[in-house]
Every structure is written in C-alpha cells, then in structure tokens.
Amino acid sequence: MTGLAADEHLVLVGLMGSGKTTVSRLAATRLGRTLVDSDALIEARTGRTVREIWATDGEPAFRALETAALVEALACSEPLVIAAAGGVVLGADNRRALKAARARVVWLCASTSTLVGRVRSGGHRPLLDGDPEAALTRMAADREAFYREVADACVSTDGRSPSEVLEAVLR
Ligand code: S3P
C-alpha cells in the first residue's frame, strides 16, 4: 500500500479484538482527523445500545443499521479514520461500498488466541456471550475471505503494541 492520500478515508476492519478501536484512536490523533466508530455512530443515531438493538430487533435489524452507518461515514466529505465494526464485511453491499469509496482499507488480523486474550465480552458484543473462543474461531473461518476481499493491506497485530500496529498501518 502506498501512502494514504489527504482526501482518502482510512478504514480499519477486522474481527473483534483485532485492535480497531485502540489503533483508530491513535491514527485519528496522529493524522489530525475525526474518528468515526460505526458502533458508536449506530448508538448515537438510534439512542440505543448495540446490545439493546440486537436483543429487541435481532441481528438483521442491527446489520441494516451497520450498513447505514458505514454508508454515512464513507459519504463524509471530510477524510476520516473509520473503525468499522467486525461484521461489516458480511454484507456484499458493504463490501462493494468499501471498495468503491475513496478510502484505504486496512485489515487488522490476529491469531484467534491473540483475539481471545484481548476481547472483553458483554457490552456491545452479544456474539461473544457464551464461548468467545469458539465464536471467534468460527468468525475467522467465515469472514477471512471477506476481509481479504476489501482490504488494500493486511497488518498482523500479533505480538505488536498499538503504536507498532499504527506505524505498520501508516506504512
Ligand atoms: C460484531 C462486532 C462488534 C459489534 C457487534 C457485532 C461482529 O463490533 O458491531 O457486536 O459481528 O463482529 P467491534 O468489532 O467493534 O467489537
């Protein structure tokens, strides 16, 4: 990946626990950009938590809101740092939107054991209720090809600190 252009969004994708939130905060500070986190945008637009939406309306309703949040963020004329929720690559429309946008998409990847060591379940992550390791193993198998499809670059986060990951992302 060559350098990020001044008018391109930087979008971080990856599974839960890959470090999107932490690294996107560092990236936004470093680049002097606004950070948009798609889960936070959904919560702001609906006035409800991800968990409430999931429990009351179900996953498909949540996924529709996720698409709307992604489209809204990508349409912003100001170049952003976008932390896209882990499941955003599931929708073919979302993948098309990511590829069509004026954006660089970086996939933060990590081994399942790294992800399991990092994630906190509860909160906005109903898919990790129960057995996070089994869930993350299944999601890695289901989603890896999709992350690869949308990504301009893949950065391994195994054994790297957030600032080391940021440097790799910016390279
Ligand atoms: C999800 C990831 C979560 C959140 C929801 C579903 C997923 O976001 O959107 O729990 O399907 O991978 P983070 O990746 O920001 O934790």
- Report, as an integer, the average pLDDT of 139-153: 97
Residue 1: pLDDT above 60?
A: no
Helices (H), 20-119: 20-31, 38-46, 50-57, 59-75, 92-100, 112-118
CA of residue 164 to ligand 1 center, whole Å: 23
The pLDDT of residue 123 is 83
Please state, in angstroms and rounded to a whole number, the distance separating the CA atoms of residues 75 and 100. 11
Residue 18: pLDDT above 80?
A: yes
Residue nearest to atom 13 of ligand 1 (CA): 85
What is the tens place of the pLDDT at every residue in 102-135?
999 999 999 999 999 998 767 899 999 999 999 9
pTM here is 0.96
Helices H, strands E: what count in the chain? 8, 5
The conformation of residue 117, written as its DSSP 8-state character, comes to H
Alpha-carbon torsion, ordered 39, 23, 149, 38, to 10 deg: 10
Residue 162: pLDDT above 60?
A: yes
The pLDDT of residue 2 is 59
Identify the residues whose C-beta falls under 6 Å from ligand 1.
16, 20, 39, 50, 85-87, 124-127
* pLDDT, averaged across the chain: 95
Q: Is 92 helix (H, G, I), strand (E, B) or coil?
A: helix
* One-letter amino acid of 49: T
